[in-house]
Amino acid sequence: MQLAPKLLTDKSRLQEIYDLRVDAYEQSAHSEFVNRELYPNGWFDFLEEDSYHYIVEVENKIVASARLSILSSFQDFITLGNDTDESLIPPERPFALYSRLVISTEYRGIGISSQIDRVIIEKMWELRVPFCIAGCRDERLDSLLRKGFLRVGEVLEIKKTKSEVAHFILIRNPYL
């Protein structure tokens, strides 16, 4: 079975992604941060419509997704509920944000996240943005460091009623 990420072209399917995010979190160790009680209509924000969403489908059902957003200001990142120091990133604008990677529990551990990482990085290069930032937990850090990301600090991710600290990482576009 080929489970290759592809760009979502039908924005009417965004609700499937919002629901997948909640479903995946509810079945993880991080369910206290994202769950159906806190996000009854799925987990989404103001960046959705203008972002690049990559999906993996099985029998026309989205089983994994991630997004790449182009931000023109650091304030957009802060508005998402992130708290970190702007001096940790280069001054060039716009820049990219890699976020909201989720994989259905039955498809975890088979390399989907690495495939999504690859297409996200390639898209960032194609769009010619100078760098991409992301927040990640311990379990993803080594994999992203091997792909060229650098750990630049920490970010406090604020979700509705709770917060958690994540690694703040960055990758530069080598083609610029």
Residues of the chain with pLDDT > 90: what percent?
A: 92
Of 75-79, 149-153, 156-160, the one with minimum mean pLDDT is 156-160
Rounded mean pLDDT, 89-111: 96
Question: What's the whole-number mean pLDDT along residues 108-120?
Answer: 96
The structure's pTM equals: 0.95
Answer yes or no: are the C-beta atoms of 34 and 21 closer than 8 Å: yes
* Percentage, residues of the chain above pLDDT 70: 99
Domain ranges across the chain: 6-172
The full DSSP string for the chain is -----EE---GGGHHHHHHHHHHHHHTSTTTTTS-TTT-TT-S--TTGGGSEEEEEEETTEEEEEEEEEEES-HHHHHHTTEE--GGGS-S-SSEEEEEEEEE-GGGTTSSHHHHHHHHHHHHHHHHT-SEEEEEE-HHHHHHHHHTT-EEEEEEEEEETTEEEEEEEEEEE-TT-
**pLDDT for the residue numbered 29:** 87
Q: In the prediction, which pLDDT does 159 show? A: 86
Which of 28-32, 92-96, 171-175 has the least mean pLDDT? 28-32
At 1 the pLDDT is 59
Q: Is the pLDDT of residue 122 over 70?
A: yes
What pLDDT score was predicted for residue 161? 80
- For residues 134 and 54, what is the distance between their CA atoms, to the nearest angstrom? 16
- pLDDT of 79: 94
The residue with greater pLDDT, 106 or 162, is 106
Under CATH, domain 6-172 is a member of which superfamily?
Answer: Gcn5-related N-acetyltransferase (GNAT) (3.40.630.30)
Average pLDDT over residues 118-132: 97
| pLDDT tens digits along 44-79 | 999 999 999 999 999 999 999 999 999 999 999 999
pLDDT in tens, 16-53: 999 999 999 999 988 999 999 999 999 999 999 999 99
